[in-house]
Amino acid sequence: MVTGLLLLMSTLSGVILLYAPDLQKLFHPSLYDATPATQTISAQRARAAALAFVPDFKVDRVIKNRGIWAVRGELPDGERPQREIHVDPGTGDVLGIADTRGGVLGVLTNLHTCALSCDDYAGHWGATAYELNVLGNELRVGELLLGLIALALLGLSLSGIVLWWPGIKRMARGFALRRRKGRYATNYDLHKLAGMAAIPFLLMWAVTGAGFEFKQVDQAWYALLPGSQPPEQQDFESKPIAGRSISMSQAERIARELVPSGRLSSVTLPEPDKKESAYTIRFSEGVDPRQYDAHRGDVRVGVDQYSGRAKITDGDPSVQRPVSQVLWEAWGFPIHTGTAVNGGLRSPWVLFGLGPLLLAVTGMTTWLLRRRKRRAKAAVPAA
């Protein structure tokens, strides 16, 4: 029952977050009310517009998001300084300041992705932010809890398949729903049917969710499937050169030479306090697994902020990768979040995301009916 409550917390918050970017646009339409235009301003001009609007704004990333430029950074003060200044790509006018990490959606995001351990989202709880080393995984308490919830879901799903299995000869019985055999039989059968219908999604969420926290899941994936595990990704670093630097627009042009057919998704600026930091330019190339996410881009290019030296650091379209690697590295997160498809096709994620709620209701009802029956039987005096 305790595990069930934690699973409900995770799955129900996840169902709402399936449409978080769309809800942001629905709740704050003026922040996305851009002027239709065939020509759009550059990322650098969007950054300049944001800085003219808030001079002390510490910009770290410029994102092309749902028809506007979202200039992300930190306000000079505030409890949660992370904000986005939205800029009209047609006119260069500032549409307003968005707090995408605050409010109810911010709390739900913190709950679902960090178990309230992320201090840059609303709802942060310091007790879950304590850092641990668990089997070589550097995790906060909240992240450890999420990983354990995912493993519990995996165990419940696999054991549920075993308990449901009716045998080859009696397979039809496994899909029967007895409506005239009493509440117990009806709830018991409905519990089994709902569970088996949701099993593919529950297993997907369990495996990918555990993989976000535990490196052992990655290792198991590549051990069971053909293809080798890619080496651990290293940050692309700049080599400081006195008196030399390139602009944001220059970095974008250099990166585009490596991905000429790519669609620009975002430009991340070098960290001002880290000399070795570099530009990170993201492009969507071909079918982008994250094409419906708030932060798109399946190809990442690192550009030296001094010399302009550039390298594709992730998703190189010219490199042939094993299917297992593509599925896990490129598609794992988008399939987990539903952002691999548009909002209309995301309805199965909602339906099966609500499955644990139905399983909780039918499971609890079945348990109570069984308990009541046992108590009634025990109350009957022996003959």
**pLDDT 10s digits, 288-304:** 999 898 889 999 999 99
- Which pTM value belongs to this model? 0.88
Q: What is the pLDDT of residue 6?
A: 87
Confidence check: pLDDT of 174 > 60:
yes
Do the domain assignments include residue 89?
yes
Its domain, for residue 277, covers 232-320
More confident residue, 380 or 36: 36
Do the domain assignments include residue 243?
yes
- Of 73, 89, 107, which residue is a domain's last? 107
CB atoms within 10 A of CB 156: 18
Q: What is the pLDDT of residue 5?
A: 86
Do the domain assignments include residue 163?
no
Q: What is the pLDDT of residue 233?
A: 81
Mean pLDDT of 211-217: 95
Render pLDDT for 244-287 as a digit per residue (tens, 0 to 9). Answer: 899 999 999 999 999 999 999 999 999 988 999 999 999 999 88
Do the domain assignments include residue 126?
no
- Of 107, 122, 149, which residue is a domain's last? 107
Which CATH number does the domain housing residue 86 bear?
3.10.450.40
Residue with tokens 């117990």: 184
What residues contact residue 376 under an 8 Å CB cut-off, 6+ apart? none
Q: How confident is the model at residue 124 (pLDDT cuts 50, 70, 90)?
A: very high
CB atoms within 10 A of CB 17: 19
- Of 39, 72, 107, which residue is a domain's last? 107
More confident residue, 246 or 79: 246
Q: What is the pLDDT of residue 377?
A: 80
Q: What is the pLDDT of residue 112?
A: 96
Q: What is the pLDDT of residue 80?
A: 65
Do the domain assignments include residue 9?
yes
Query: HEC string of 285-308?
Result: CCCCCCCCCCCCCCEEEEECCCCC
> Which of 161, 154, 299 shows the shortest CA–CA distance to 216?
154
Do the domain assignments include residue 333?
no
Angle ∠(354,355,361) on CA atoms, nearest 5: 100
Number of domains in the chain: 2
Do the domain assignments include residue 239?
yes
Distance CA 155, CA 248 (A): 48
Do the domain assignments include residue 227?
no
Tokens read off for 140: 């906060």
Q: How confident is the model at residue 182 (pLDDT cuts 50, 70, 90)?
A: confident
Mean pLDDT of 21-38: 89
Q: What is the torsional sign of CA 17, 19, 24, 28? A: negative
